Structure 1
Amino acid sequence: MKKICFVIILLLGGIQAKAWWDHGHMVTAMIAYLNLDKKAKAKVDSLTAVLARDYPQVNHFIVTGPWPDDLKADGVHTYDTWHYADYPINNDGLVVHDVPEVNAIWAVNQCNGILKAPQAKPMEKARFLSFLVHIVSDLHQPLHATARFTNDIPGGDAGGNLFPLKGTWRNLHAMWDDGCGALSKYNDLRPFGKPKVPLTEAQIESVRDLAKDLMKQYPEKSFDNIKTLDPDFWALESNKLAAKYVYGVKGKDDQGRNQYLRPNDEPTPFYLEQGQEVVRKQLTLSGYRLAAILNDLFGENKK
């Protein structure tokens, strides 16, 4: 059974290489950008300009966020496993696979290493900066740190991709990529859509406004573990959120007992409201943590 489960996960691994849609990654990047010191901001701007030589739609640092997903859309699958680190939720006590070594946690550490390396070329650093921006955001999407194993799906649900829903979203993963509806009005922000075009100044400003609203709602002091920059901790943190909220309560029955979201359900307003709160907090937290990493790498007091 263990071998079968592992093979299924390998076959499905590519399904869930995308977390948040473009707007989510750009919000993380904008919150980080607004919290960079002057020296770090100048450095990321210079590396953004390097990436833009080959990808002209990258006309602002925030557009580096969704760029790694565009690679996958163009058929580059070398980095697929960099986008997630699926810790299991396994209430049925099944035998499950180990978390693959080359995952999002590994990738964050690799990116940090390249960005610190004095011998690394500017284009190499620009690409790894983009991956760092993207993966930090990925690890704060609960379904990129989680796969649920049940008797019905013993090979795991591929981060909710195999958890179908009725209504607006086709499956659980897509719903959380869209922020449980919290980000839906920003779905037109697609610099890597068809055609691939740079963001307009108005679109960049809309992301900046959203980032400022989130920072006002969730200031740095509101987070207990904001200074924890260990990506393994982030993954475990997200996994706990998935157990509590993603696969959580959708409401109560007539006798006051908790009712949980099940495959082929339509999410309830109660479920979506809770999910949107988690999404807003996680996006804000990911932006603050990304800023801390970039200030450490490139800032006035870099380590």
Structure 2
Amino acid sequence: MKKCICFAILTASMCIVPVRTFAWSGAGHMVIAAEAYHELPERTRSKVDEILKAHPDYAKWVATHSKEKFADLSLSEYVFLRASKWPDEIRRAKGQGSRSYDHPHWHYVDYPLKPTKFPLEPGPSPKDDLLYGIAQCEKNLCDSKASPEEKAVYLSYLIHLVGDVHQPLHCCSLVNETYPNGDKGGNDFYVKPGNKGIKLHSFWDGLLGTSSKPQTQIYYAIELLHDHPRKSLPELAKATTPKDWSLEGRQIAIDKAYLRADINGGCGTSEQNACELPSNYTKEAKAVAENRAALAGYRLADEIQMLIK
């Protein structure tokens, strides 16, 4: 049997989600949103805050903020963080009005990864994928004829999708003998962190944490900005478009998530035969995730400043 990649324990709280799981945990999206919000100049923050007041869930977020009485967390920042999770929330909210805004295929771009040479091939759905979704956000936020609610919805999507494109497993689908139709960004490839197999995708989703407390994620965001200042990230100058960011993610998926390995060894197709891994995988993956989160925060802040003037 050929050697399979394997994965160490990340957290017992990770769960298995059917079909496509959601990029980063909600906590991860809040971390990236908090980074971006702290990077925005006050003038831009005020405009963003005003736009989000027209969001279909704004009243609910205001009520939650009032009820929870978050210490040292302004309503405006809380709303921005909640907006980062909303596109995933409406994927679960069957039958609710906001469901009409759901775009389930906008959360990923399935560049096929074909070992061992990994030739660069386009994603299969250029008019309904992650890059298309970001382009629609940019278009609508610049459209003077868009309604206030539409602008708020597309701003929420932009906050979310810039996070998504920095999750490496949202930029790929492994294609080989075991997965001739692709592994759906690691959703069909199982790894074993302990006694139970989980999806590779779920492993990466949880690398930025799982706490639902926004203040925890704000502290984490501040730490990431301190540890990853702009001057330490040459990628910011090298990759300047959403497509560039997605290709970064594709390469990281090859090198760091799949370890450039030939994994046709028969493992990974179910919880029962989930693969095992090198002992340093979790530590290195965590470092990669934090680097991606820092990049996402800076890039999101730059995108918002470019689009909202």
TM, length-normalised to structure 1: 0.78
Alignment partner, residue 225 of structure 2: 215
After TM superposition, the structure 1 = structure 2 runs for residues 140-159 of structure 1, keeping only pairs within 5 Å, are 140-159=166-185
Query: What is the distance in 1 between the residues matched to 2:157 and 2:79?
Result: 15
Equivalent AA in structure 2 for residue 100 of structure 1: S
After TM superposition, the structure 1 = structure 2 runs for residues 158-177 of structure 1, keeping only pairs within 5 Å, are 158-167=184-193, 170-177=198-205
The answer on whether the counterparts of 2:30 and 2:214 sit within 8 Å (CA) in structure 1 is no
Query: What is the distance in 1 between the residues matched to 2:41 and 2:20?
Result: 34
Are 1:234 and 2:245 matched, yes or no?
yes
Name the SS of the counterpart of 2:256 in structure 1. helix
Change (3 A) 1:92 1:151: farther
Name the SS of the counterpart of 2:177 in structure 1. coil
Change (3 A) 1:98 1:209: closer
Alignment partner, residue 134 of structure 2: 108
Are 1:188 and 2:211 matched, yes or no?
yes
Alignment partner, residue 297 of structure 1: 307
Equivalent AA in structure 1 for residue 159 of structure 2: V
Identity level (%) = 30
Q: Which has the higher contact order (CA 8 A, sep 6+)?
A: 2
Equivalent of 1:66 in 85, 89, 93: 85
| 1:25-50 deviation per Cα after TM superposition (whole angstroms, max 9, x unaligned) | 11111110000011110111122332
Are 1:128 and 2:138 matched, yes or no?
no
Equivalent of 2:297 in 282, 287, 291: 287
Shift of 1:160: 0.2
Change (3 A) 1:98 1:225: closer
The answer on whether the counterparts of 2:192 and 2:275 sit within 8 Å (CA) in structure 1 is yes
Equivalent of 2:49 in 45, 65, 70: 45
| 1:142-162 deviation per Cα after TM superposition (whole angstroms, max 9, x unaligned) | 000010111111111000011
Alignment partner, residue 257 of structure 2: 246
The answer on whether the counterparts of 2:110 and 2:170 sit within 8 Å (CA) in structure 1 is yes
Are 1:139 and 2:165 matched, yes or no?
yes
Change (3 A) 1:54 1:124: farther
Alignment partner, residue 253 of structure 1: none
| 1:213-259 deviation per Cα after TM superposition (whole angstroms, max 9, x unaligned) | 00111111111131443111111100000000000189xxxxxxxxx
Gaps of 5+ in 2: 1-17, 66-77, 269-273
Equivalent AA in structure 1 for residue 80 of structure 2: F
The answer on whether the counterparts of 1:92 and 1:150 sit within 8 Å (CA) in structure 2 is no
Equivalent AA in structure 2 for residue 48 of structure 1: L
Corresponding residue pairs, total: 259
Gaps of 5+ in 1: 1-13, 190-202, 251-259
Shift of 1:140: 0.3
**For structure 1, which segment, 77-86 or 155-164, has the greater mean C-alpha deviation from structure 2 after superposition?**
77-86
Query: What is the distance in 2 between the residues matched to 1:294 and 1:156?
Result: 34
The answer on whether the counterparts of 2:58 and 2:79 sit within 8 Å (CA) in structure 1 is no
Alignment partner, residue 117 of structure 1: 143
Query: What is the distance in 2 between the residues matched to 1:97 and 1:241?
Result: 16
**For structure 1, which segment, 18-27 or 69-78, has the greater mean C-alpha deviation from structure 2 after superposition?**
69-78
Equivalent AA in structure 1 for residue 160 of structure 2: H
Equivalent AA in structure 1 for residue 248 of structure 2: E
Shift of 1:55: 3.8
Change (3 A) 1:65 1:249: same
TM, length-normalised to structure 2: 0.77
The answer on whether the counterparts of 1:19 and 1:144 sit within 8 Å (CA) in structure 2 is yes
Shift of 1:97: 8.6
Query: What is the distance in 1 between the residues matched to 2:276 and 2:172?
Result: 21
The answer on whether the counterparts of 2:110 and 2:123 sit within 8 Å (CA) in structure 1 is no
> CA RMSD for the aligned pairs?
2.6
The answer on whether the counterparts of 1:147 and 1:156 sit within 8 Å (CA) in structure 2 is yes
